Amino acid sequence: MPALQLFLIGAPRSGKSTVFNALTLTPEGQSSFTKGQHHLGTVKVPDARLAALRDMYKPAKYTPAEVTFVDVAMPPTPDGKGALSQLTTFLGDADAFVIVAQAFGEMDYRGKPVDPADQLESVLLELVVTDLERTEKRLEKIAHEKGRGLKINEMEASALEKCRAHMEKELPLRTLTALSPEEEKATRSLQLLSAKPVMVIANVSEERLDGKGLDKLRAACAKLNMEPIVFCASLEAEMAQLDPEAQSEFLKDYGLNEPARVRFIQMAYRLLDLISFFTVGEDEVRAWTIRRGTQALHAAGKIHTDLERGFIRAEVVRNEELLKTQSWAACQKNATLRLEGKTYEVQDGDVMHIRHNA
């Protein structure tokens, strides 16, 4: 899997670029590049377990998992609406959307009183409206083809009908449960946006780090079964550039436990149901990101397709056990190292070695 891609979207001037900086700046700078008008930045996923394994093996190469954040350049529109519909191809690559809602200051970009819940609702609705328009167009095309006697994909047509009916109620495809896996697959080529998971950032001012006064936004998020992540992007962007010592001083001063980046990535993993397993050795210590529930055979395929093809068994040990004994051989001896077959469900924090036919 290429790095997890999280796309930042939201109202004009809500602080998307500042949030992007807060999430991607490091004391060493920023590893970022542009794609058209858009800004992309990749960060390493902080993981204390992996760092401890690195300290144990002192490998030649150390490879944490990565997340790519995308600061989406929203095309200017007269009323701030309709920007997303101009970007559907680009946005189709997102694994999830991060909606930035302005909760700092008094006025929004229109000179109206700041209302993060309203900003959130309008982005959510825009995702649905954009999908609905594209679904209708696609259905028209299918009907046209059918009218001319051409063979059509019935599965796609019936799936899109269901999508349309759902979205006409202003509901996102995320909440449509009536599609069979085959129907879901048939809609995939349209890369519909409202099917993707969303996260919400409340970008508050320094004075409102306690998150008070966000009741309406919290209620809007509760409808999505989630909570907003509350932080002050400008403060976090400043802090992200400090060396670790100065950073922890800074955190303490503001009564914060962890930088926003750490909190944010943990939440993204939870939301997307992702876990990590590790491979270790003198050559490389590495984290691999997989969906919860992935079986050993497919996890092996992440590492290399040869490992999936020639899979014999997985040697599996909990990172805690390995770190306790500081020795693979000792884990073999004390039987905390297990041999698992193809269908073993890999657990978060497993350390694996795949036995295979070369």
Ligand X SMILES: Nc1nc2c(ncn2[C@@H]2O[C@H](COP(=O)(O)OP(=O)(O)OP(=O)(O)O)[C@@H](O)[C@H]2O)c(=O)[nH]1
What are the residues binding ligand X (CB under 6 A)? 12-18, 74, 104-105, 203, 205, 232-234
Cα dihedral across residues 105, 109, 111, 113: positive or negative: negative
What does 15 bind: Mg ion, ligand X, none (CB cut-off 5 to 8 Å by kind)? ligand X
Tell me the two tokens of residue 88.
């559907």
What does 42 bind: ligand X, Mg ion, none (CB cut-off 5 to 8 Å by kind)? none
Torsion of CA 227, 102, 237, 95, to 10 degrees: 50
Q: Looking at beta carbons only, is 14 or 319 nearer to Mg ion? A: 14
Q: Which of 204, 197, 144 is nearest to 7 (CA)?
A: 197
Sheet holding 311-318, edge to edge: 61-63, 284-291, 274-279, 350-356, 311-318, 338-340
Q: Rounded to the nearest whole angstrom, what is the least distance from the CB of residue 253 to ligand X in the complex?
A: 17
What does 14 bind: ligand X, Mg ion, none (CB cut-off 5 to 8 Å by kind)? ligand X
Residue 222: phi and psi, rounded to 5, are -60, -35
Q: Looking at beta carbons only, is 207 or 245 nearer to ligand X? A: 207
Q: Looking at beta carbons only, is 116 or 301 nearer to ligand X? A: 116
What does 18 bind: ligand X, Mg ion, none (CB cut-off 5 to 8 Å by kind)? ligand X
Side-chain half-sphere of 141: how many Cα atoms within 13 Å? 9
Q: Looking at beta carbons only, is 9 or 159 nearer to ligand X? A: 9
* 340 close to 351: Cβ distance less than 8 angstroms: no
Q: Looking at beta carbons only, is 74 or 314 nearer to ligand X? A: 74
Q: Rounded to the nearest whole angstrom, what is the least distance from the CB of residue 268 to Mg ion in the complex?
A: 20
Q: Rounded to the nearest whole angstrom, what is the least distance from the CB of residue 264 to ligand X in the complex?
A: 14
Name the one residue in this structure whose structure tokens are 């790519």.
Answer: 68
Q: Rounded to the nearest whole angstrom, what is the least distance from the CB of residue 25 to ligand X in the complex?
A: 13
Q: Rounded to the nearest whole angstrom, what is the least distance from the CB of residue 256 to Mg ion in the complex?
A: 24
What does 104 bind: Mg ion, ligand X, none (CB cut-off 5 to 8 Å by kind)? ligand X
Q: Looking at beta carbons only, is 237 or 322 nearer to ligand X? A: 237
What does 299 bind: ligand X, Mg ion, none (CB cut-off 5 to 8 Å by kind)? none
For residues 160 and 157, what is the distance between their CA atoms, to the nearest angstrom?
5
* 6 close to 94: Cβ distance less than 8 angstroms: yes
Residue 224: phi and psi, rounded to 5, are -95, 10
Consecutive H or E run containing 90: helix 88-91
What does 276 bind: ligand X, Mg ion, none (CB cut-off 5 to 8 Å by kind)? none
* 72 close to 38: Cβ distance less than 8 angstroms: yes
For residues 227 and 221, what is the distance between their CA atoms, to the nearest angstrom?
6
Tell me the two tokens of residue 280.
């270790």
* 103 close to 146: Cβ distance less than 8 angstroms: no
Cα dihedral across residues 215, 219, 225, 229: positive or negative: negative
DSSP string, 97-117: EEEEEEESSSB-TTSSBP-HH
For residues 130 and 87, what is the distance between their CA atoms, to the nearest angstrom?
10
Q: Looking at beta carbons only, is 15 or 172 nearer to ligand X? A: 15
Q: Rounded to the nearest whole angstrom, what is the least distance from the CB of residue 238 to ligand X in the complex?
A: 10
Under rule CB under 5 A, how many of the chain's residues touch Mg ion? 2
Q: Rounded to the nearest whole angstrom, what is the least distance from the CB of residue 199 to ligand X in the complex?
A: 16
Q: Rounded to the nearest whole angstrom, what is the least distance from the CB of residue 234 to ligand X in the complex?
A: 4
Q: Rounded to the nearest whole angstrom, what is the least distance from the CB of residue 290 to ligand X in the complex?
A: 32
Q: Which string of x and - marks every residue 1-40 that binds Mg ion (by CB under 5 A)?
A: ---------------xx-----------------------
Strands 96-103 and 198-204: parallel
Q: Looking at beta carbons only, is 98 or 280 nearer to ligand X? A: 98
Residue number, nearest CB to Mg ion: 17
Q: Looking at beta carbons only, is 13 or 302 nearer to ligand X? A: 13
What does 9 bind: Mg ion, ligand X, none (CB cut-off 5 to 8 Å by kind)? none
Interacting residues toward Mg ion by CB under 5 A: 16-17
